[in-house]
Amino acid sequence: MAQNITKRINYFLRIDIDNKEDLASIRKWNNLKVAFDKNSIWINNFESYQIDSIEVKAIPKKNLFYSKNGKLFLLHSLLPDCKEPNLLWTPIERALPIQITKFNHNYFGLTEKIEIKLVKDTSEKEVQVLYTSLEKLLIYVETAPKIRLEKIKWILINNEDVLLFGKPILPINAAAFWMYGNTVIPVGYKIELEILQEVINKKINPENDSWIIWNKEASYYKVDKSLLKKLSLSSVRKTKIEIEREIKAMQINV
């Protein structure tokens, strides 16, 4: 029988329990499972792209393994290191709840507040959102192949600009953003207190029904996810026509 080469590899990460705060960057991945032994935290159920991600590479003092026939092999090694741990696995959001002891859990309360800042971030992150003008988008879609547009969603901002969500990223002169959950941040920046990103989102976006778009000055606006529409030449043209009609109507009424 031919071997199934598409079989999913099960990866494991081990870290000393005293260093659990170093796992904050991967807590966003809800697919991960966590277990504890006497002195270590174990995490498994990684996707291959997660094992190779910047978030995992940035975790200090870790051991990475892959599983084969009930044994664990250090990543990139052909020699078994230990047996696969027989532990009780729990979803990461339950095993590692957010705990911030230095601030009031209201965060934005009357008596105790924190200041949200965006700071420079030199790490490489995938561009997932573009901000450009409606005019530039219209010029591009007039000649773009349909297949290039079909996985992109978009929304009009202030009757002049647009946000484009999805890949492949379009070759348009635009401001680029990366995403963390429902948070959209300019490329080259990050929220200074990254561990608070989920808390901030829950405060200003409790239903998770909006994208939170941040600018470099750390102000933000919300975009209702339900208002995004599929990108197509007809949808952009229609929007452009509707705006022109509104402008003419306003001029007539003046």
At 20-62, the pLDDT tens digits run 878 877 887 889 999 998 889 999 999 888 888 878 888 888 9
pLDDT at 107: 42
Q: Which residues pair with 65 in a beta bridge?
A: 12, 74
pLDDT at 102: 41
* Token output for 248: 């003419």
Average pLDDT score, the chain? 83
- Pairing mode, strands 90-91 and 33-36: antiparallel
**Amino acid symbol at 120:** K
Q: Which range is most confident: 34-38, 194-198, 231-235?
A: 231-235
What global pTM score does this model have?
0.56
**Amino acid symbol at 150:** E
Pairwise pLDDT comparison (15 vs 201), residue with the higher score = 15
Helix axes 233-253, 134-141, angle to 10 degrees: 140
48 burial via Cβ count (<10 Å: 0-12, 13-18, 19+):
exposed
Measured in degrees and rounded to the nearest 5, phi and psi for residue 244 equal -60, -40
Q: How many residues does the chain have?
A: 254
Measured in degrees and rounded to the nearest 5, phi and psi for residue 126 equal -75, 130
pLDDT at 8 over 80: no
pLDDT at 18: 85
Pairwise pLDDT comparison (50 vs 97), residue with the higher score = 50
Task: Quote the Cα angle for 162-163-164, to 5°.
Answer: 120
